[in-house]
Amino acid sequence: MDNFIVSARKYRPSTFNSVVGQSALTATLKNAIKNNHLAHAYLFCGPRGVGKTTCARIFAKTINCQHLTPDYEACNECESCVAFNEQRSYNIHELDAASNNGVDDIRNLIDQVRIPPQVGRYSVYIIDEVHMLSQGAFNAFLKTLEEPPAHAIFILATTEKHKIIPTILSRTQIYDFNRITIADTVAHLQYVARQEGVEADENALHVIAQKSDGGMRDALSIFDQIVSFSGNRITYQDVITNLNVLDYEYYFRLVEAFLAGDVSRSLLIFNEILEKGFEAQHFVTGLAAHLRDVLVCKDPQTVVLLEVGADIRERYKAQAAACPVDFLFQALKLANDCDLNYRISRNKRLLVELTLIRLCQLSPEKKKSLVPDDAPPAPQPPAAPVQPAAAQPRPTQASPQPVPAPASASRPAPPPTAKREASSRPAPSPNPHRPVSISITKPAASASAQGQQAQPDRPAVPDRDFSDEELRTAWHDFASHVPPEEKRLISYINTNEPVRIAGTSAFELRISNSMQERELNGYKHDLLAFLRSRLGNSQVDMRLRMEEVQEATKLLTPEDKYRHMATKNPALTKLRAELGFEID
């Protein structure tokens, strides 16, 4: 049986042209060879598996090649190239700084640097994981690194550039390697699959590329693992099963449930995901990434940011066409907030489920209401009969208000200082003490349809003035119409009172946190409809003001504590003077 060689070693690049995803960097190195502008020290830094050590070996092999090709690549035929390919070259020396990180190891290297090369022009010293050198080793290496012999070239490679001392960085040319893009990784995996006689689905290779996180070595290792699992045919299902990756299908189904406002379906999908062993936070981050991908498909110019296969890309485009932009913005914010709060939450599953419920409530087909969707529509109050001018009851208010003109097909324009709701509003009752029904149903028809149903000969009911006491009474009465499970909102209504804004029909509520703001805004439509109907004034409006939380002064010293206590109890100063106490 022949010895198996992993793909990461078997298909390791041997020329600059075969390096994947680092075209700008390899072009710079080739130009340096072409123009004979070789530095004495280089620093290759970047994530793992992006080609740092590979490029260092190719560079060392090329500068010692005796017959360069026209495009300045190694010929692989001269004595130096053959010795390098057979791993017996005495011109190229590799040192693992992770296991040779002491001062004595660097001294041995310095002694070795003095020996000129036997074949070729340069002795190249590749020091891998150079950030693992000790402080003393770095200091011992400084002088040689700054002024090496003419035949010596140092190539330092590291994944953590920030751990290297500045004096080392200033003596080297720094090359930053980028993560390999998903497109480049997929193209290289397709090449390897063809060479190995493996039939691979493009979507499966995209998942492998995403899982590798920009490292080609990781991608080839995963590829070998999948081939061992599925044989010579790699399918999308084989990859997600072997790598324990959440399928795209779950997220497509979830977004469809959000758009339909189907809470039960979304919770069942989440439960199915948990039963398959996936972590809830992994699900939340995947959901946020899926919503982001749907958002970038809304604009043809940003579709290029989507890194998936061709057929899945079409599914993203189709779902993006069905999702309003406002829905995607709010859904992304909810998913991101859930991810941020996941670590500090005690009931993590409940946090995710509440997020899914709120995502379903963003649906344009299902708005938040106080009763279920199948509740019967609230009865509309009967139209008040038109009475003669002499029989009209005079409004009981401090100052008379002008009676607006009779209503036509469209409502009269509101005053500039008033803020009116765009949704349907119950007609104000002339009697403020009449019992009110707060059964809220789905949003009414459009304003144009309402205008067609309006009676042109019916005069508009004038807005009546109301007292602060009537406002407070109606405010507290609203608590009885809130569902019992909304305990925080009920508690807030019972413990706070609205403050009337002078000269207007609006009132102000003081809140202390963003949670209260979200809850009150969620019930703003129903609350204003209730108050306007109870108070007989269609101009009633609500405004929220966030109170600034003042930090308590910290009492650090005994003197500070004494002064604080003496401020509250002046007799303490007299007692201290009589007893002659001192503050330690």
The model's pLDDT over 44-62, given as tens digits with 9 standing for 90+, comes to: 999 888 888 899 999 988 9
The DSSP call for residue 391 is: G
pLDDT of residue 2: 61
**CA torsion through residues 569, 574, 577, 579, sign:** negative
Short-list 256, 313, 254, 260, CA closest to 286: 254
Alpha-carbon gap, residue 306 to 317, rounded angstroms: 10
Beta bridge partners of 506: 541
pLDDT of residue 544: 86
Short-list 384, 26, 57, CA closest to 177: 26
Q: Can you tell me whether residue 175 is helix, strand or coil?
A: strand
pLDDT of residue 460: 54
The CB density around residue 69, as the number of other CB atoms within 10 Å, is 13
Q: Do 189 and 225 meet the contact criterion of CB atoms below 8 Å apart? A: no
pLDDT of residue 174: 92
Q: Do 57 and 126 meet the contact criterion of CB atoms below 8 Å apart? A: yes
pLDDT of residue 300: 84
* 546 vs 28, higher pLDDT: 28
pLDDT at residue 136 is higher than 60 = yes
Phi and psi torsions of 247, nearest 5°: -70, 145
pLDDT at residue 212 is higher than 90 = no
Short-list 404, 464, 457, CA closest to 429: 464
pLDDT of residue 435: 39
Residues 6+ apart with CB under 8 A from 360: 257, 258, 261, 262, 263, 266, 366
Residue percentage of the chain with pLDDT more than 70: 81
pLDDT of residue 366: 58
What letters, b where the CB count within 10 A reaches 16 and e where it falls short, cover 52-66? bbbbbbbbbbbbbbe
The model's pLDDT over 283-328, given as tens digits with 9 standing for 90+, comes to: 999 999 999 999 999 888 888 888 777 778 888 888 898 899 889 9
Q: Do 441 and 369 meet the contact criterion of CB atoms below 8 Å apart? A: yes
The model's pLDDT over 405-432, given as tens digits with 9 standing for 90+, comes to: 444 334 444 444 444 443 444 444 444 4
The DSSP call for residue 342 is: T
Token output for 113:
């640097």
What letters, b where the CB count within 10 A reaches 16 and e where it falls short, cover 23-35? eebbeebbebbee
Alpha-carbon gap, residue 127 to 111, rounded angstroms: 15
Token output for 529:
């409809």
The model's pLDDT over 388-402, given as tens digits with 9 standing for 90+, comes to: 444 444 444 444 444
Alpha-carbon gap, residue 207 to 230, rounded angstroms: 15
String of DSSP letters for 365-387: T----SS-TTSPPPPPPPPPPP-
Residue 499: which H helix or E strand, with range? strand 499-500
The model's pLDDT over 511-561, given as tens digits with 9 standing for 90+, comes to: 888 888 888 888 888 888 888 888 888 888 988 888 765 555 566 688 878
Q: Do 50 and 185 meet the contact criterion of CB atoms below 8 Å apart? A: no
- pTM of the prediction? 0.56
pLDDT at residue 199 is higher than 60 = yes
pLDDT of residue 44: 92
Alpha-carbon gap, residue 568 to 549, rounded angstroms: 22
Alpha-carbon gap, residue 492 to 479, rounded angstroms: 9
Residue recorded with tokens 């703003």: 524
Which has the minimum average pLDDT: 34-38, 176-180, 222-226, 388-392?
388-392
pLDDT of residue 512: 82
Beta bridge partners of 233: 199
- pLDDT category, 264, cuts 50, 70, 90? very high
Q: Can you tell me whether residue 197 is helix, strand or coil?
A: coil
Which has the minimum average pLDDT: 83-97, 227-241, 397-411?
397-411
